[in-house]
Amino acid sequence: MYHPDYTIKKEPYILGIESSCDETAAAVIRGRTLLSSEIISSASEQAKFGGVVPEIASRAHTEVVSEVVLRALKSADITADRLDAVAVTYGAGLLGALLVGLSFAKGLTYSLNIPLIGVSHIRGHLAAAYLVDSELKPPFMTLLASGGHTAILLTESYSSFRFLGGTCDDAVGEAFDKVARVLGLEYPGGANVERLAREGAQTVRLPSALVKNSAHMQFSYSGIKTAVINAVHNAEQRGEKLNPADIACSFQHAAIDPLVKKTVECAKAASVGVVTAGGGVIANGYLRDTLVSACRKANIRCVLPEKCFCTDNAAMIAAEGLIRYLAEDFSDLSLNASARVALV
């Protein structure tokens, strides 16, 4: 919604706010230049319970949202009255957590008479690549891999995406967390599976994540998760014990290799010369190395966000906010939080 009092600038100062789960984050950008990125996490508190407790997360956001915004402004060396817009995650995520950040953003934009920009958390992950390369422009192929989503998308423009394939059940990040629990690893599971996998070898037979003989390109992570559980239980029944590091390594290969292979194949088929990626799983070192190597062999440029901008952060929200700001795609103060949002 366009407000006639808003003056649109080519390189605006945009504050991003993210509070969808257990990270309270704020960042400031000017144009595509990142000026600051601050995060206060409640992950250590959540780890006591083996995962995120929504009520604890919401309370933590309430206690620190003002502080993290002030930190971001101070690090960027600007005052709030120089902001041109505030971009904030409105979904997907934990409703209570989302409402904390959204309510704070509404109050700030109202007091400063600047635009409010509601941002999909998923779009934020897709926009993180713009923080790496100031000259990056669509079209390019994007791999989305997170705790809630797994998809290969052709980014046709800054706001248009074509879905080419994705998971038909669990997301790859969710599978990492489930396997971590089976192996007795602490929260956050994905990072701990990666660490353990470095010590192991690909010796446990597991199904590939790619669904064979499907009319559409589909991935399935429920089956891999079940295969890991069965492998562990069957070994226990035989009085044997599998090496947890070998299980982690074998799972990582089965989960990630097909994603990388198909992403590069899609880029070649679409004749695009750039591959990007976004989502928490893109922080996985094996995935990053494998994707970079596969792109190099295919003579395709690979643009990956820094690891800190793959997991939940506000810089990616600000990056997507810039796209919507320049399109004058603003949100009304009646914007509500949503636990689920459309993929793209």
Give 41-73 pLDDT, tens digit per residue.
Answer: 876 777 777 777 888 889 999 999 999 999 999
Q: Average of pLDDT values for 243-263?
A: 97
Domains in the chain, ordered, with CATH? 13-128+311-326 (3.30.420.40), 138-304 (3.30.420.40)
- Mean pLDDT, residues 125-152 taken together: 96
Say whether pLDDT at 17 is over 60: yes
Which stretch of DSSP H or E encloses residue 70?
helix 54-76
Percent of the chain scored above 70 by pLDDT? 98
pLDDT in the model for residue 57? 85
Question: Does position 262 have pLDDT exceeding 70, yes or no?
Answer: yes
Model pLDDT, residue 4: 55
Region 239-264 average pLDDT: 96
Greatest distance between any 2 Cα atoms in the chain:
73
What pLDDT does residue 2 have?
45
pLDDT of residue 73: 98
What is the DSSP secondary structure assignment for residue 238, as one 8-state letter? T
User: How does DSSP classify residue 324?
Assistant: H
Q: What per-residue confidence (pLDDT) applies to 312?
A: 94
Asked whether residue 140 carries a pLDDT value surpassing 90, the answer given is yes
Mean of per-residue pLDDT scores for the chain: 94
Higher per-residue pLDDT: 236 or 26: 26
pLDDT-wise least confident of 122-126, 184-188, 278-282: 184-188
Q: Tell me the mean pLDDT in the region 134-148.
A: 95
Residue 1 has pLDDT above 50, yes or no: no
* Count of alpha carbons within 13 angstroms of residue 330, beta-carbon side: 23
CA 5 to chain centre: 34
pTM for this prediction: 0.93
Closest CA to 29 of 139, 162, 124: 124
pLDDT at 3: 54
pLDDT score, position 161: 97
Higher pLDDT, 24 or 51: 24
Token pair belonging to 319: 């990056």
Strand partners, 18: 25
Element (H, E) at 172: helix 172-182
Give the three-class secondary structure for 67.
Answer: helix
pLDDT in tens, 68-94: 999 999 999 999 999 999 999 999 999
- Tens-digit pLDDT profile for residues 281-319: 999 999 999 999 999 999 999 999 999 999 999 999 999
Place of tokens 């899609």: 266
Paired with 199 in beta bridges are none
Is 196 within 8 Å of 250 (Cβ atoms)?
no
